[in-house]
Amino acid sequence: MSQIAAQPDARIDRPIALVGLMGAGKTTVGRRLARALGLRFFDADREIERAADRSVVEIFSDFGEEAFRDGERKVIARLLDEGPCVIALGGGAFANDATRALIREKAVTVWLKADLDTLMERVSRRETRPLLLTGDPRQVMADLMAKREAAYRQADLTVDATSASHQATMKAIVAALEDAGVLS
């Protein structure tokens, strides 16, 4: 398992799930957040790859998005039962109605919101984003933003992840969790 830190922070009693589009910083910021809070960290996509013994790109290619989303929901359900931890969700997880309901029931959710230019600059560094491998990546990302924003708005908290460093974004999440009374 992709774990950082072994001792849960007594200041929180449930998982923290980071949601948002690819490139928002969920994994990088999530690792820092877990470390700062003394919690375990899980990257949902990496956990899906371990469970399936194949990459996300291969799962999409071999079985399609619907099969991926089904496996994703099962892995996320398992991670949510891990107790207090930080989970970086894949960009589409929270957009799926059934998966979103499961996450909202068991975790505090934080939307890492970033603008299109920031997201494109970040995702252009790797070719591991299956939804961006066909068509015009910028248009695909813009379409995903429009399609998923209503779901992301249902997160418990929203943190701007556009221009700040990963460390500053992590600190903004901690402050938002404290302000919301989630961390004591």
On whether 34 is known to bind a ligand per the annotation, the reply is no
- Domain annotation covers residue 4: no
On whether 179 is known to bind a ligand per the annotation, the reply is no
- Domain annotation covers residue 98: yes
pLDDT at 133: 58
**Which residue range forms the structural domain that includes residue 90?**
16-179
- Domain annotation covers residue 156: yes
pLDDT at 3: 42
Domain tally, the chain: 1
| pLDDT tens digits along 47-100 | 999 999 998 888 988 998 888 999 999 999 999 999 999 999 998 999 999 999
- Domain annotation covers residue 7: no
On whether 106 is known to bind a ligand per the annotation, the reply is no
Q: Domain holding 127: CATH number?
A: 3.40.50.300
On whether 148 is known to bind a ligand per the annotation, the reply is yes
β-strand 40-43 against 85-88: which pairing, if any?
A: parallel
Segments of the chain with pLDDT less than 70: 1-10, 124-135
d(CA 161, CA 92): 18
On whether 24 is known to bind a ligand per the annotation, the reply is yes
d(CA 2, CA 9): 17
On whether 90 is known to bind a ligand per the annotation, the reply is no
pLDDT at 10: 52
pLDDT at 5: 42
Enter the tokens of residue 165.
Answer: 């460093």
- Domain annotation covers residue 184: no
- Domain annotation covers residue 45: yes
pLDDT at 126: 59
- Domain annotation covers residue 30: yes
pLDDT at 62: 92
Whole-model pTM over 0.85:
yes
On whether 129 is known to bind a ligand per the annotation, the reply is yes
CB atoms within 10 A of CB 140: 15
